[in-house]
Structure 1
Amino acid sequence: MRKNKFLIFNCLILVGLTCQVSCKSDPVDSDITKASAASFEALRSDFIDSKAQGVNFPAESGVDFTSSMGARVQIPSDCLNDANGRPVKGQVSLTFVELYDRGGMLLANKPLMGVNDQGQLLPLVTGGQYYLTVKQGEKDLRPGCSFHVQIPARHTGGIDQEMRLWKGLIGAEGNLNWLDIFDPKVNPAQGDEPRFEEGLGVIAGDTGQYSAYYDILSAYFGWTNVDRFVMVDGPKTKIQVQVPEGYDQRNSAVYLLYEDEPNALAQLDIYDTKGKFFTEHYGFVPVGLKVHIVFASASGQKVVYSIKDVQVTNNAVYTFAQGDLKTMDKENLVKMINSLK
C-alpha cells in the first residue's frame, strides 16, 4: 500500500511538471496600453505623413512632378484657383502620398470599400491610390482645369482593364469610402461648380511596353483610387468579430485580407456597442473563402495587432482575446501584412 501511495505521489508530481511545460499559456505583451481615439488617429496620421512627398513651384508655371515610386503629376500653368475661384499666382506647394500595398493602406486606414449603384459599401481591388493637394501657405487650392496623374501598374501586378476611377470621401467615423467618379447616383454634380473633363486610360511606360501606367485625367484634389469591385462567386454572409474589453471603433479597427488577392483590403466598419463586436452592412463576406482577419490599434508609437486565419462559415463569430494582442513597429507590420498570401 505504501508503494502504491508513492507511485501516485510521483505521478501527481509528473502531471504537475508536465502541465507547467505544456499547459502554460502564451506570454501576454504586458507593455500594451489601450489607445485613446486621439492616439490611434495620431498613429495613422504619422504613418501618412511619413509617406508624403512634395515640391514647391510657381502657380503660373505649373509643375511636372515624379514621385519616388514612379507616379507622375502634371498640372498645367495657370490652373490653380483659391476657394473663391480666383486664379492664384506665386509660390505654391504640392503634397503627394501614394499607396499601392494593403499593408500601407491598413496602417493609413485607407481601406478599399466602394459604394455601388445601390448605395452599398463593398470591397474593391486596387490598382493604386494616392492623395494630392496643393496649398498656398495654409490655404487649400482647387484645380481650375483638368490635369494628369499617371501611376505605375507594376506595383499592383499590371494593368487590369476593368478598373475605374474613384474619389475618396471621409465618413463620419473617419473611414475612407470610395465613390465611382462616373456614377451620378453616388457622385452628383456640386451645384454651379465648373465640371472639368475626367477619365481613366492606360498608356505605354518607360519600358516601351503597352499598358505600363494608369493615366488619370483628374479634376479634383484629395484621395483618388483606381479600382474595381471584388468578384467572388457563391453565397455571402455577415460575420461578427469580438474584440477585447476597452476597444471599440474609436481606438481600434478590424480588416479582412482575402487569400490570394493581395490588392484587396476590406473593413468591418460597424461596431455594435451592445454586443461589443465589429461587423459590416450588407453581408459581403464570401462563405468558404479563406481570409486573414486583422485587429489593429495603437500602444504608444507601436501598432497593436492580432491576425486570425479562418475559412469563413455562415454567420460566424470570431473572437480576439487580450492575450492574442501583440505589438510591432509600423514598417515591420506593413511588411508582415504584405507577406500574407
Structure 2
Amino acid sequence: MDNELFDIIIIGGGPAGMFAQYYAGLRELKTALIEATPRFGGQVSALYPEKKILDLPTFINITGRDLIDKLAKQSQLVDSKSFFNSQVTDLQKKDDLFEIEINHHAYLRSKSVVVATGSGSFSPRRVSVPGSDNAEQGGRLRYLLPDFKNCREKSFAVVGGGNTAVDYANELIDHGKKVSLIHRRENFRALESSVSKLENSELVSFYLPKRIASLDQQSDGISIELEDLKDQNIEKIKVDQLIGGYGFTASSAIIDAWSLSAKKYRYRFATDSKQMSSVPGLFVIGDASAYPGKADLIATGFGEAPTAINSAVEYFDPDRGGPQHSTSLDPKKVFTDD
C-alpha cells in the first residue's frame, strides 16, 4: 500500500464521493475511495436511509437506501479501489504529492485529492426534558426512522418544525403510521410542498404551539406531557414511539486536525469554479465545499464531482485533455463488468 501511487484519492463515500469515483473510472484514472465507515452512503445511510429524496432529476421518491444501492452498483462498473473502515487521520503534501494517513498507521500517495466528507460527523440534537434519558435508553425515544420492513409500531410522535421533523412525519404517513406532530410554533420551517402534504393527511394530528414538558416511558408506549405555549395548559398524549426531529449537528474535528489546511468559507472548504481549494491539487465537493450562492443538495454534489475530476486531471496532467463526454468512451475498455 505504501508504494502505490494514485491519480486521484477521494475521501468520503457518500453520494458525491461515489459519483466522483465512477466518473474518474470513466476517465480511466487510477483511483481510490476512502470511507471511514464499513459501507458506502455517508450521511444518507447514517441519517435517513428510509427518507424519500425529492430533489434529484429522474428519480421519483427514491429512498436514501435505494439511491446508495444504485450508486454502489454504478461504482462497481469501473476499475477503482475502495477502502472501508478507514479514517483519514492526516493529510499532507510533500514534493507535489499528497500523503494520506489512514487509521494512524497506513499511508497512500496520490497526485490529487478530492474531499467529499460532507459536513463531518453527525450527532442528533437531543430532546432534553425530564424522562428523556430513560425513554432513549428504553428505545421509546429515538432520532432516526425505524426500519419499516420490521416496524410493528402503529403510532408515532415527531417533535420539531424544520425539514427533519416534517420529512420524518411524511415518511411515517407514507407507511400508514399515525403521527402526532409537536412544534413550538404555529408555522413550519420546511419545504412548502412537504408541509402541504402533512396538512392534507388524515393520519396527522398537529400540536401547535406546544412543547414537551416531560416523558414517561411505559411498557406499551410512551406518555408525552405537552404544555400549551399560549395558555400554559397541560395535556398528555400516548404513542408507541417518539422521534426527535430537531436535526443534527456536525463536527469537523478530525478534518481540522489534518496537517494540511485550506481556507474556509462558512466553516467549510472554500472552493473556486474548478472545485479547487486554496491548496493546489486539493479539490472539494458536496457539503464539504462552500462558495457564495451554493445550494446544499445531493444534486449539486453530483454536478461538482465531474468538475473536480476533470480539474484534477488538468492539474496533474495538463496535456491529457478533456473533459470527455461519456458517450465518447468505449464501455468495453472502461467497464470491468458489462
Indicate the TM-score class for this superposition, using the shorter chain for normalisation: under 0.3
Q: Which has the larger radius of gyration?
A: 1
| TM-score normalised by length of structure 1 | 0.23
TM superposition score normalised by structure 2: 0.23
Higher strand share: 1
Higher RCO (C-alpha 8 Å, min separation 6): 2
- Where is the helix percentage greater, Structure 1 or Structure 2? 2
